[in-house]
Amino acid sequence: MPIELTFLGHSGFLIKDTGTGKAVAVDPFLTGNPLAVHQPGDIACDYVALTHGHEDHFGDTLAIAKANNATVIGAYELCQYIATEGGHDNIDPGNPGGRIATDFGYVAMTPAFHSSSYQGKYMGQPMGLVFSIGGVKLYHCGDTGLFSDMKLIGAVAKPDIAMIPCGDRFTMGTDLATMAAEMIRPKFAVPVHYKTFPVLNQSIDGFEPDGVEVKEMQPGEVWSYGG
Ligand code: NI
Ligand code: MN
């Protein structure tokens, strides 16, 4: 059975295993996202996984998690905040290097070179996330600069699909994202974190990795993969 990968805009995705019906929302930033086509109430999921605490990733996590009684996976401090300040105690915290077993497979956490705060409060380590779901491996890089251990992460995770930020300023631009894709070596690279705001790259021009197929998704687009 394939997975259904829905692009929520910016860096957000809904990943559903059509075999088990289990779904995980990643960085569900909808309210205030000018390109989003979904409302928080549209999102049905069992888990919410967060790369870091910034508002353009944390987004509608609390509303979605509470409405679905979803388990929130994220950095230790971010999960503590969600439980103590956010009023949602269904949390599953971790840190880079670790792996969390889930109903659909697992989420492994990797380093990312960035920062992580929410409303000015420290939210622990920013992370990339590797998902094993429905026989498919996905590596969401989170917000990050280029780092050479992306080659190591690619070798360990062997991802089918990598979501790679390319908007520049807060993350890699398309030139460095190209180098990242060539180090990670997924079958497909999905560019993220561009066009949402005027300060970001408005296109993926220059994102041309050798040996990796670029799959540009539009917000709301659903991609059935694998199976
Ligand atoms: Ni960020
Ligand atoms: Mn961001």
Count of domains for the chain: 1
What CATH number is attached to the domain comprising 142? 3.60.15.10
Q: What is the pLDDT of residues 72-91, one digit of tens each?
A: 999 999 999 999 999 999 99
Please indicate, yes or no, if residue 71 is contained in any of the structural domains. yes
Residues recorded for the chain: 227
* Residue 111 CA to ligand 1 centre (angstroms): 13
Q: What is the pLDDT of residues 116-151, one digit of tens each?
A: 999 999 999 999 999 999 999 999 999 999 999 999
Ligand nearest to C-alpha 200: 2
Please indicate, yes or no, if residue 93 is contained in any of the structural domains. yes
Angle at 194 between CA 198 and CA 189, to 5 degrees: 170
* Residue 125 CA to ligand 2 centre (angstroms): 14
* Per-residue exposure over 122-161, b if at least 16 CB sit within 10 Å of its own CB, e if not: ebbbbbbbbbbbbebbbbbbbbbebbeebeebbeebebbb
CA 71 – CA 94 distance, rounded (Å): 13
Q: What residues of the chain score a pLDDT lower than 70? A: none
Model pTM?
Answer: 0.98
Ligand nearest to C-alpha 113: 1
For 179, the domain range is 3-220
Ligand nearest to C-alpha 29: 2
